[in-house]
Amino acid sequence: MKVTINDVARLAGVSMKTVSRVMNNEPSVRKKTSDKVMAAVKELNYKPNLAARSLAGTKSFAIGLVYSNPNAYYVIDMQNGILSRCKEEGYELLIHPCSNTDENVLDEIQTMIERSRLSGLVLTPPLSERQDVTDLLDSMNINYVRILSGREPTEEQTKSNAIFVNDHDAAYQITEHLISLGHKHIAFITGEEEHKSTLERLDGYKAALSAHNIDVDDALIFPGKYSFESGVEGAKALMKQDSKVTAIFACNDEIAAGALFASRLMDIKIPEQLSITGFEDSPFSKQTWPKLTTAHQSNQDIATQAAKLLFANSRPTKIKEDKMAICFTPELVVRDSTGRIMQ
């Protein structure tokens, strides 16, 4: 027989309304009462009907993850990080991919929110970096948290909850690592410019070169995309046009894996003749041979924190907390794809 909310209330010795308040995470319930209810929930293995909860009132028990990113590893990490928090809060997660370049993307997001009756949204780049998207969400009065690339929030960005990834300083560390190994002719393969992370990583690369009195050579900066094929194309072009290149900084691990593959096709020894680095520490960085030096970006932790911020401001029964900005700086991970040049 299916366990009902009546069964939980009877075992805990409280009313059905109290059980409902506990399941809805309302802060006004005393901890002793909440503990009794949750103990009964666990003992009876009670599974609340989330759809019924949403239909019964005005409150939604679902949040959304909206993304425009072809990197499957990134999306999976984001999904798992948010889901871990959803399970704690008793919410469901709606995952909605959409194209940042689609002229109808605003209509698509609005329709998705209205149909799904979402309690809030987590936005990832590049959609999270668009003013027209945040203007739409503000006009709909929906809670949202943005994941952004940057070192410090601007005045406009402090008006909403956000998680910042300090791509600049991480890229500076990677470039400085290559310089410490004696590299001076360091090439850079970019991702798409619609992602602010591309510009932040490129700026960090340039800043490190300048700090060590190495001229920035625009000929060594290859405009690419966040894909394996772009790494192949970029490495081939850079190595053909400039035989002085001794290191390639790829804007992410997928690009770096492509660059490494192309280098092997050209009989270039890694890292004896050429060092290659990636960014993000995705599975690509560990599946190559040699394994890639990169910057560890904990996307799952970032997503969990984003969901935590979202839930803190999604409960109508409590005073909403001040807007917050949390910053993550990816950390350098040194592996076998970088080394000193063989004399």
Q: Are residues 159 and 303 in the same domain?
A: yes
Q: Are residues 188 and 258 in the same domain?
A: yes
CA contacts within 13 A on the Cβ side of 334: 11
Report in angstroms the alpha-carbon separations of 97 from 2, 102, 335: 35, 12, 33
* pLDDT over 60 (residue 212): yes
Question: What one-character-per-residue DSSP string does 259-309 give?
Answer: HHHHHHHTT--TTTT-EEE-SB--THHHHSSSPPBEEE--HHHHHHHHHHH
* pLDDT over 60 (residue 12): yes
Q: Is 341 domain-assigned?
A: no
Q: Is 71 domain-assigned?
A: yes
Please report which confidence band the pLDDT of residue 31 belongs to, taking 50, 70 and 90 as the band edges: confident
Give the pLDDT confidence score for residue 333 in this predicted structure: 98
Report how far residue 95's alpha carbon sits from residue 288's, in angstroms, rounded to the nearest whole number.
30
Identify the weakest region by mean pLDDT among 62-76, 189-203, 313-327: 313-327
Please report which confidence band the pLDDT of residue 90 belongs to, taking 50, 70 and 90 as the band edges: confident
Q: Kindly report the average pLDDT of the chain as a whole number.
A: 88
Q: Is 53 domain-assigned?
A: no
Give the pLDDT confidence score for residue 158 in this predicted structure: 61
- Do the Cβ atoms of 259 and 276 come closer than 8 Å? yes
Q: Are residues 22 and 36 in the same domain?
A: yes
Q: Is 86 domain-assigned?
A: yes
Q: Are residues 122 and 196 in the same domain?
A: no
CATH value at residue 250: 3.40.50.2300
Q: Is 251 domain-assigned?
A: yes
**pLDDT tens digits, 293-306:** 999 999 999 999 99
Query: Which residue has better confidence, 179 or 320?
Result: 179
Domain total of the chain: 3
Q: Are residues 190 and 279 in the same domain?
A: yes
Report how far residue 74's alpha carbon sits from residue 95's, in angstroms, rounded to the nearest whole number.
13
Q: Are residues 283 and 206 in the same domain?
A: yes
Q: Are residues 288 and 222 in the same domain?
A: yes
Q: Are residues 305 and 162 in the same domain?
A: yes
Amino acid at 285: S
Q: Are residues 173 and 230 in the same domain?
A: yes
Give the pLDDT confidence score for residue 42 in this predicted structure: 86
Q: Are residues 287 and 185 in the same domain?
A: yes
Q: ∠63-102-193 over CA atoms, to 5°?
A: 95
CATH value at residue 22: 1.10.260.40
Q: Is 14 domain-assigned?
A: yes
Range of the domain at 74: 62-166+299-329
- Do the Cβ atoms of 177 and 334 come closer than 8 Å? yes
Q: Is 198 domain-assigned?
A: yes
pTM: 0.79
Q: Is 342 domain-assigned?
A: no
Which residues are within 8 A (CB) of 202 and not within 5 positions of it... i.e. 6 or more apart?
Answer: 171, 188, 190, 221, 251
Please report which confidence band the pLDDT of residue 59 belongs to, taking 50, 70 and 90 as the band edges: low
Residue in 62, 76, 67 with CA at minimum distance from that of residue 130? 67
Give the pLDDT confidence score for residue 79 in this predicted structure: 95
Q: Are residues 184 and 155 in the same domain?
A: no
Query: Which residue has better confidence, 213 or 42?
Result: 213
CA 330 vs. chain centroid, Å, equals: 12
Q: Are residues 185 and 225 in the same domain?
A: yes
